[in-house]
Chain A
C-alpha cells in the first residue's frame, strides 16, 4: 500500500474500517511513514475537535408552539369537514331551486345521460382515496416531469462525466486540455 492509497483510506480508517485486513495494512504503513502518520494525526485531531460543538438546547417555547399549531390544525380540519358538507347541502338546494324555477325539466334526462360515464369514473375512484388524489393532483398530473427534474438539471454535464473515468490517459488529457483553451 503506497502513500496515496493510505491517504485515500484515512477517513474510513478513522471511522473504524470494518475491513480488518485493510485496516491492518493502513496501520503497518502508518507505523513506517512519518508523512502519512502526520496526516493521520492531523485528520484525527480535526475530526475529534468537532466534538467541541455540543448540542444546543432548543428554546422552551418551541415545543409549546408546535403543539399549539397541531391543535389549530385539528380545528381547521374539523372546519374543513363541516364547510364542504354545508356547501354540498346549499349547492344541492341551489340546483333544485334553479331547475325547479327555470322550466328545464325536459333537459333533465339529457343531464342524467351525460353523467353516466362520470359515474363510472367515480366508481373507479371510490376504490382509491379521492381526497388524497385531489391533494396531490398538481403533482400526479405531471409526475414524470417532477420525477426527472434532478436529471434534467444535470443533463448538459453528461459528456464530461465519463472522461476522467474511462478514457485512457492520453485521450483524457487531450480532451480536457482542449476545454481550457
Chain B
C-alpha cells in the first residue's frame, strides 16, 4: 500500500512539473531523468564536454543550439542521411577533416561569376543518379588530388546521399 502511495506521489509530481512547463522545459525534465540515470563514467564524459562548451564563444554556442533545432525539424530520411554522413566524417583523420573544412570555406569566397556558374552546375549534378554523379566527381580536380584511402572515405561521404 505504502509502495503504491509512493509511486502515485512521484507520478503526481512529474505531472505537476509538466503542467507548468513549455516545450523547452519538457526537454529539461527528460534531461534531468537522463542525467540521473547515467553511469558515473558517462557523467564524467559529459562533464568533460561541458567544460569545453563553457569556454566557447556565445555565438558558437548559439550556432550549435540552432543546429540542434534545425536537425529536429528535418524529415526522418534527412536525419538518417546526416547521421550516416557524420559517421563517415568522424572517421576522417584530423588533417583530412581540416582539408574538408578549408575547402568548404571557399564557397563563401568565390568570385560572383564563378559562384553563379558553380551553383548552376551543382543544381544540374544534384538531379543525377548516384553512379552518374560519382562519374562526374571522379573527373574533378578535387578528386584527382586525393590518395586512394581518401578517395575511399570521400566516396562514402558523398554517396551516402542516396
Contact = CB atoms under 8 A, between A and B. Distances in A.
Q: Do chains A and B touch in the complex (CB under 8 A)?
A: yes
Contacts, number: 182
A133 interface: yes
Contacts of A67: none
Interface string A132-153: 1111111111011111111111
A94 B137 contact: no
Interface string B120-162: 0110111000000000110111110000000000100110010
A134 B13 contact: no
A98 B107 contact: no
B53 A146 contact: no
A163 B140 contact: yes
Contact of A180 (B63, B64, B68, B121): B121
Nearest to A127: B47
Given A165-B106, A176-B117, A124 B43 contact: yes
A171 interface: yes
A90 interface: yes
Interface class of chain B by DSSP: helix
> Do most interface residues of chain A lie in helix, strand or loop, or is the interface mixed?
helix
B80 interface: no
Nearest to B134: A159
B61 to A, nearest CB: 9
Nearest to A141: B46
A3 interface: no
Interface stretch (A12-20, A50-58, A113-121): A113-121
A159 to B, nearest CB: 4
A161 interface: yes
Contact of B20 (A76, A91, A174): A76
Interface in A67-99: 76, 79-80, 83, 86-87, 90-91, 94-95, 97-98
B35 to A, nearest CB: 5
Contacts of A169: none
A153 to B, nearest CB: 7
A24 B90 CA distance: 50
Contacts of A128: 47, 50-51, 54
B3 A118 contact: no
B89 A151 contact: yes
Contact of B118 (A90, A132, A161): A161
A135 B28 contact: yes
Given A124-B43, A139-B65, A156-B126, 7 more contacts: A76-B20, A101-B2, A121-B43, A133-B46, A154-B107, A158-B142, A160-B142
6 contacts: A121-B43, A150-B63, A150-B67, A178-B139, A179-B121, A180-B124
Interface of B: 2-3, 5-6, 9-10, 13, 16-17, 20, 27-28, 30-32, 34-35, 40, 43-44, 46-47, 49-51, 53-54, 63-65, 67-68, 70-71, 82-83, 85-86, 89-90, 100-101, 103-104, 106-107, 110-111, 114, 117-118, 121-122, 124-126, 136-137, 139-143, 154, 157-158, 161
Q: Which 10 A-B pairs have the closest CB atoms?
A: A121-B40, A137-B31, A149-B67, A94-B6, A164-B114, A159-B140, A121-B43, A146-B67, A101-B2, A159-B142
